[in-house]
Structure 1
Amino acid sequence: MTTDAPVSAREIRSVYLALMAVLGLGALDQSIVATALPRIVGDLGGMAHLSWVVTAYVLASTATMPLYGKLADQYGRRPMIFTALTTFLLGSVLCGFAQSMTQLIAFRAVQGMGSGGFMPLAQIIIGDLVPPKERARRQGSIAIVFAVTSVLGPVLGGMMTDLLSWHWIFFINLPVGALAFYAIAHSLRKPAVTHAHRIDYLGSVLLTVSITALLLILALGGTEWAWDSVQVEVCAVLAVVLGGWLLVHLRRAAEPVLPPDLFANRVFNVASIVMALTFMGLMGASVFFPLFFQLVMGSSPAHSGMMTVAMMVGMIASSTLNGRVLSHSGRYKAVQVAGLAGAVLAFGVLAWGMDTARGYWIIEPAIFLLGAGLGLVMPNMTIAVQNALPIPRRGVGTAMLTFFRSLGGLLGVTGSGAILAHQVHAHGIAAVARAGAHGAGALPAVQALTVEVYRHAIANIFGAGAVLALAALVVLLFLPELPLSGHPVAAPAATPTE
């Protein structure tokens, strides 16, 4: 966003707080709903489609991320953040008044279409207002928002469901969203410079439908849909055919939804691969923390939730430290290398500690190190990409980086689930057969051997996370480090290409 006059510190603070409120809304809606799901099913029925209440939101959010970035470059940041926020609040109202599970799932998709713009647009606007050297302090606070909402979400969801009703977990978004809307409207200036106002409708449809088809396979394949089912086959055909059509279209369109020159930027390409691999390992492994603590270590559900707080604390601490370091040194690559190296070590220690039945005194510090390492990677990678792209490409580049991060997370969850299922199937049958030799005491033996099967399976998942983090570290070594500008909207010093 280019303005006629410098943006004051007060304006930046007002916009920043409003953006954090918007991000908090999107993040909170992913965690607050889970607590209320049993009550929702009791009122609306539809137990067979329960998972779609969450899946519809995630799919719609992920699929729309690239569009928000491109449209923000064409029409400006203000119109798109207002569009995203309005869509999200409309979906919230509709969810609150839903009378059936089908309606709730459809309205959750509307919510997701709005929340898909929150993360990329917040990062884009911060990138417009704050110089790269100071940006790490602002970007790092995004991790704090997600950490706080991940802890508060289940608690607030339970309280509102018990004291009021599950409808209020959606209605509570309205006053917070209205305040954020007001703050952005009064503090975020209109741009003095605009870019080409031509939207690629065909490219937008091809991109959204092909991505949605791919995400459906990743989210539901092997669980609700068998891998050889008609649904998976249809989605696979759509993803391949429409994806191929999109690639041809991008080379011919005058103003394509995904500019081909974006993928000629070496910083963007390396950053996208690193983020995808990093989140593939992180999400694929971290989703099994509760299962490990409860099933293997015998913790209660409440206690197992507290055990993962160490990762959030580590992420907050490193993000805060990173902002100070980057503002003084202006160098982002060395910090990222150190962060990913720490994540590789943490994954390795967790895999070893789980496999050899180590206690909390090994597991907890490793979880903290994992969060601290990743807290040095994510904010800096966004800064590196924004610093390397020209202003007309900054929006779509930031949104695509967020998309690849989410895509990597979905791939990680799907892959780790497949690893767990394979390990349990391969070793569980043998464990039961061995336990049968105990005769009357077979049940305790089966339980003990089942725990061991899950212990080793989850350890293998964290071992895979270490391999993925190591691969990301190797790719990161090829990231060019460009000088950080001291002006928020300065063009990159150089744009490295392949």
Structure 2
Amino acid sequence: MDNKKQNIAMRAFALSNVMVGLESTIVATVIPAIVDDLSGIRLMSWVLTAYFLMMAVTAPLWTKLAERFGTKPLILIGTGIFVLASLTEGLAVNMYMLIGARLAMGIGAGAMVQLPYVIYGTQLPTAQRVKQVGNANAAYSIASAIGPLIGGWIADSLGWRWVFFINIPIGLFMMWLICRNYQESFTPNRQAIDYRGALSLATTIIALMLMIQALGAQTPNLGLVGSTAVITVVVGVFFFWIEHRAVDPIIPLGLFRNWSYMAKNVLMFCQYGVLSFVNSYIPMWGQGVYGLTALAGGFLLVPSSVMLAVGTRLNAPLLARHSEKSVVRRWSLVMFAAVLILAFIWQTSSVGFVVVAGGLFGLGAGVVTSTAQVAVQDAVPKRQVGSATALNALIRTIGSTLVLSMLSLSLNTTFRHAIAAHSGKLKIDQLNAISSAASAAKLPSNLVPLLRTILFQGFHWLAIWACLIMGVSLLVSLMDPWHKGGLHE
């Protein structure tokens, strides 16, 4: 593949991250319109979770199929599924049709978000990998940040269905670019695909994610938590039993014995969880504590996203002068400093502290996540790059979900204690309403200062939890021996 065609193909893969990143957040802005039009408030949460569930579940299977059939045809198939699902979502006549299409879209997104990283790991030398991984991470982050703004504009101007229709021309253009410009050379893996392992892994992940979501609810359903926990453990044990005997396991168990590789996974589990905290709660912090409008609250994320993109651009010059180990450890300290700022600001502190903390965290995350993703691939032999990349993506997704659910549980605990302390004066609906600028305007004015104080206290605890999680990631980075796996040697 000549350089010009390779550069165009890499831009197309970055475009896939833009599409998946937009879809991760853009739908949240049109949920009220969808629920109103399709009369489906009871099923609202599934519109959001179905997509993420299937994206996480299918990533390892897409990787294994790529070893047999190649990445090019599979990323085209995945994008095709994504485009058809977008069309179906836009034409949905009820919530069941919409949710079914969201499940299909998640399957396609699994290929679109996963296979480019496999391509970077197997087709590019280290210097180019650092650049392309950074570009992909920046594209995903910026798209996720601007998703709500674009979604709001489309919903107001064209209607909620166009949030899905907009994917169709972009997806088709991306497929055309890949067909014309991407050429791959690979040796097909002719061993039988581990379908039993794939099915048991998918079941384990779905049960685990449902359990995590149930734990984060305001009033956790203990029956659902218990049953999904049992399924997770039983099927998870069965998965390891299958993989131990599989000729070509979907997740080689040897990866779990590679301490350097697993240490980086634990680090990314923690840091992606804290990144999800920053992206999810800073806009709410601005609206609920400082009384900003929804638009202004959304713009609080812009510094974080912009600085994340800047951080990815710093990778190459930093790695030219320092080791991966040094870069990850030093810039993880920058991320830790950012969440410390959030943990120690007061309710009366300027909103500028939140902006600075978000920007500082984004800068550190841009450097660390891109460097760590390249290091994850370097920690394993070349034959395991695909499986190692898929497992890493799975661990990052679980980290984001688990940390957010834990933080949600902490916030709900703060709310319950506040309601108990002000018996008869406060209701949970009022505490939920204060986090939204539009809903807060309808609350009794005499309660607003108290509600903002309680919300700030809840966020204060979330920031403390984020500091502890970042502390764990720092400790793990110190314990990591940073061994190479023989890749690109």
Common topology (TM > 0.5): yes
Give matches, 1:4-403, under 5 Å: 7-223=1-217, 226-229=220-223, 231-326=224-319, 328-329=320-321, 331-353=323-345, 355=346, 357-403=348-394
Q: Contact between 2:290 and 2:351, CA under 8 Å: does it hold in 1?
A: no
- Residue aligned with 1:297, SS: coil
Q: Structure 1 residues 295, 422: CA separation in 2 closer, same or farther (over 3 Å shift)?
A: same
Whole-angstrom distance in 1 between the partners of 2:91 and 2:445: 48
User: Aligned-pair distance for 1:433?
Assistant: 7.9
- Residue aligning to 1:440: none
Question: How far does residue 471 in structure 1 lie from its aligned partner after superposition?
Answer: 0.7
- Provide closer, same or farther for how the CA distance between residues 171 and 363 of structure 1 changes in structure 2, counting only shifts above 3 A: closer
Quick one: which amino acid aligns to residue 452 of structure 1?
T
Query: What stretches of structure 1 of length at least 5 have no aligned partner?
Result: 1-6, 436-442, 485-489, 494-498
Structure 2, unmatched stretches of 5+, are: 427-443
* Aligned-partner SS, 1:477: helix
What is the DSSP-based 3-state SS (H/G/I as helix, E as strand, rest coil) of the residue aligned with 1:376? helix
> In the TM superposition, what is the alpha-carbon distance from 1:243 to its structure 2 partner?
0.6
Q: Name 1:427's counterpart in structure 2.
A: 418
Structure number with the bigger relative contact order (C-alpha 8 A, sep ≥ 6) is 1
Asked if structure 1 preserves the Cα contact closer than 8 Å seen for 2:149 and 2:298, the reply is no
Displacement after TM superposition at 1:314 (Å): 1.7
Describe the superposition over 1:102-142 as per-residue Cα deviations: whole angstroms up to 9, x where unpaired: 11011101101110122221111122332112322221112
Once the two structures are TM-superposed, the CA of residue 223 in structure 1 deviates from its matched residue by: 2.4
3-state SS in 1 of match to 2:192? coil
- CA deviation vs aligned residue, 1:191-210 (integer Å, no higher than 9, x gap): 24222342011111100111
Q: Quote the sequence identity (%).
A: 27
Which residue identity lines up with residue 293 of structure 1 in the other structure? Answer: G
Aligned-residue offset at 1:224:
8.1
CA distance in 2, matches of 1:72, 1:396: 10
- Please tell me whether the aligned partners of residues 284 and 415 of structure 1 are also in contact (alpha carbons under 8 angstroms): no
Following the alignment from structure 2 to structure 1, what is the Cα–Cα distance between the partners of residues 95 and 398? 27
Q: Residues 296-337 of structure 1: CA distance to partner in whole angstroms, max 9, x if unpaired? A: 1111111111112111122111111122322x2372111111
Contact 2:215 2:409 in 1 (8 A): no
Separation in 2, partners of 1:19, 1:483: 27
| Counterpart residue type for residue 164 of structure 2 | F
Q: Which residue of 2 aligns with 1:477?
A: 478
Contact 1:331 1:483 in 2 (8 A): no
- Does 1:491 find its partner at 2:487? yes
Cα distance change, pair 18–67 in 1 and its aligned pair in 2 (3 A): same
User: Taking structure 1 as reference, are residues 475 and 205 closer, same or farther at Cα in structure 2, changes over 3 Å only?
Assistant: same
TM superposition score normalised by structure 1: 0.89
Letter in 2 for 1:362: F
Question: Whole-Å Cα distance in 2 between the matches of residues 286 and 168 of structure 1?
Answer: 25
Give the whole-Å Cα distance in 2 for the aligned partners of 1:453 and 1:268. Answer: 41
Q: Distance in 1 between matches of 2:208 and 2:219?
A: 13
Equivalents in 1 of 2:450, 2:422: separation in Å? Answer: 6
Deviation at 1:265, TM superposition (A): 2.0
Distance in structure 2 (CA, Å) of the matches to 1:101 and 1:171: 17
**Deviates further, 22-31 or 184-193:** 184-193
Whether the 8 Å contact between 2:70 and 2:186 is mirrored in structure 1 is no
What CA deviation, in whole Å up to 9, does each residue of 1:443-484 have, x standing for no partner?
766432332222122111111101110110110122334579
Give the direction of change, closer, same or farther, for the CA distance of 1:421–1:272 in structure 2 (3 Å limit).
same
CA distance in 1, matches of 2:313, 2:291: 34
| Residues 119, 402 of structure 1: 8 Å contact kept | no
Check whether the contact 2:347–2:453 (CA below 8 A) recurs between aligned residues: no
SS at match of 2:190: coil
| C-alpha distance in structure 1 between counterparts of 2:459 and 2:422, whole Å | 16
Q: What code does the residue aligned with 1:338 have?
A: R
Residue 451 of structure 2: aligned partner: 450
Residues 431 and 408 of structure 1, relative CA distance in 2, 3 Å threshold:
same
* Partner AA of 2:248 in structure 1: E
**CA separation in 2, counterparts of 1:314 and 1:253?**
44
- Cα separation, 1, equivalents of 2:293 and 2:411: 22
CA contact (8 A) 1:67 1:257 kept: yes
| Aligned-residue RMSD, C-alpha | 2.2
Cα shift at 1:151: 4.1
Q: State the Cα distance separating 1:50 from its structure 2 match.
A: 1.3
Given residue 71 of structure 1, which amino acid in structure 2 is its aligned partner?
Answer: L
